[in-house]
């Protein structure tokens, strides 16, 4: 694809923060409109997801995030390793203008990011629950639990992944245009990637290989691979 689609072009061409765009639009909506709706967006051992289905899932999760109080520039903490669900959560956070904080250790990640919402694997929920309880109680925090397993969901805080997608589908999130310098993600290696980031201009000729951890390289591969129309090859855990 060509350069980013600006909803409001920068008033100063040298300063992208003066314009408004959303990299998730360029990674999904723009590709669907351009004829890639049925092309493979995600490939894994469990099957393939097309661009249009991925867009529907991202918009649904974004709708749930908005319903749970996530707003532009809020933090969404993701403590899941790279997977189909965490890719959807990353893109959903960016779609609504929030920033995805990515990390493997729930306690320090949640403490640093002070998130409006947490997306966590069920296996980490004991540590996640303690970390969320230590945050300011004046602001309720929801937790979307991927693969809850035997974790006993707390009705006032937790929602399992599949019901979350179904709930969000009733009011899917539109794209929120953000300033070019708005943070899309803060990676495990401490890098902040913004919506107008030169590294995202990488072009892939084959599906982008998604790494085993959410570092800078993995986030760039997700966005650039989708924007190239080649999709992603997810790791096997």
Sequence-distant (6+) residues with CB within 8 A of 137 are: none
How far is Cα 23 from Cα 208, in angstroms, rounded to an integer?
17
Task: Give the full edge-to-edge strand order of the sheet including 208-209.
Answer: 47-50, 40-44, 232-233, 208-209
Query: Considering the domain boundaries, does residue 5 fall inside one?
Result: no
Per-residue model confidence (pLDDT) at position 12 = 85
Confidence band (pLDDT; 50, 70, 90) for 127? very high
Note whether residue 12 is domain-resident.
no
Q: Give dist(CA 121, CA 143) in Å, integer.
A: 10
pLDDT band at 117 (very low <50, low <70, confident <90, very high): very high
- Is 1 part of any domain? no
Asked if the structure places residue 138 within a domain, the reply is yes
Total number of domains in the chain:
1
Around 94, how many Cα atoms within 13 Å sit in the side-chain half-sphere?
31
Judged against a pLDDT cut of 60, whether residue 1 lies above it is answered with no
pLDDT band, very low/low/confident/very high, at 55 (cuts 50, 70, 90):
very high
**Does 25 fall in a domain?**
yes
The answer to whether 169 and 63 have CB atoms below 8 angstroms apart is yes
In the predicted model, is pLDDT for residue 153 greater than 90? yes
Residues 73, 218: Cα–Cα separation, whole Å: 22
Q: Is the pLDDT of residue 118 over 70?
A: yes
Q: How sure is the predictor about 18, in pLDDT bands with cuts at 50, 70 and 90?
A: confident
Region 92-102: what's the mean pLDDT? 98
Q: Which domain holds residue 151?
A: 19-233
Q: What is the CATH number of the domain that holds 214?
A: 3.40.50.12780
Domain presence at residue 4: no
Q: How many Cβ atoms from other residues are within 10 Å of residue 52's Cβ?
A: 16
* SS3 category, 131: helix
pLDDT in tens, 19-49: 999 999 999 999 999 999 999 999 999 899 9
Per-residue pLDDT tens digits for 201-222: 788 999 999 999 999 999 999 9
Judged against a pLDDT cut of 80, whether residue 199 lies above it is answered with no
* Whether the predicted pLDDT of 79 surpasses 70: yes
Q: Kind and range of the H or E element at 132?
A: helix 125-133
Checking if the pLDDT of 114 tops 60, the result is yes
Is residue 154, in this structure, part of any structural domain at all?
Answer: yes
- The answer to the question of residue 97 being in a domain is yes
Compute the average pLDDT of residues 174-203.
90
Residue 130: other Cβ atoms inside 10 A: 12
Please report which helix (H) or strand (E) contains residue 216, including its range: helix 216-227
State the burial class of residue 237 (Cβ atoms within 10 Å of its Cβ: 0-12, 13-18, 19+): exposed
First to last CA, the chain: 31
């Amino acid at each position: 694809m060509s350069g980013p689609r600006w909803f409001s072009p920068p008033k100063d061409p040298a300063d992208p923060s003066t314009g408004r765009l959303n990299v998730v639009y360029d990674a999904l909506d723009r590709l669907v409109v351009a004829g890639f709706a049925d092309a493979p967006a995600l490939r894994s051992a469990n099957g393939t997801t097309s661009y249009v289905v991925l867009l529907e899932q991202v918009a649904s999760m974004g709708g749930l995030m908005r319903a749970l109080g996530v707003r532009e520039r809020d933090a969404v903490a993701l403590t899941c390793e790279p997977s189909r669900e965490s890719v959807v959560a990353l893109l959903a956070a960016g779609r609504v203008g929030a920033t995805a904080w990515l990390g493997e250790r729930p306690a320090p990640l949640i403490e640093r990011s002070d998130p409006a919402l947490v997306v966590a694997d069920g296996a980490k929920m004991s540590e996640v629950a303690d970390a969320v309880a230590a945050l300011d109680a004046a602001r309720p925090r929801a937790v979307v639990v991927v693969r809850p397993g035997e974790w006993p969901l707390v009705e006032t805080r937790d929602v399992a992944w599949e019901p979350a997608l179904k709930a969000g589908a009733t009011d899917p999130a539109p794209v929120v245009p953000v300033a070019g310098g708005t943070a899309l993600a803060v990676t495990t290696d401490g890098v902040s990637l913004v919506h107008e980031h030169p590294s995202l201009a990488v072009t892939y000729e084959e599906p982008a290989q998604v790494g085993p951890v959410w570092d800078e390289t993995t986030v760039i591969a997700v966005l650039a691979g989708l924007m190239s129309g080649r999709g992603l090859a997810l790791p096997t855990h």
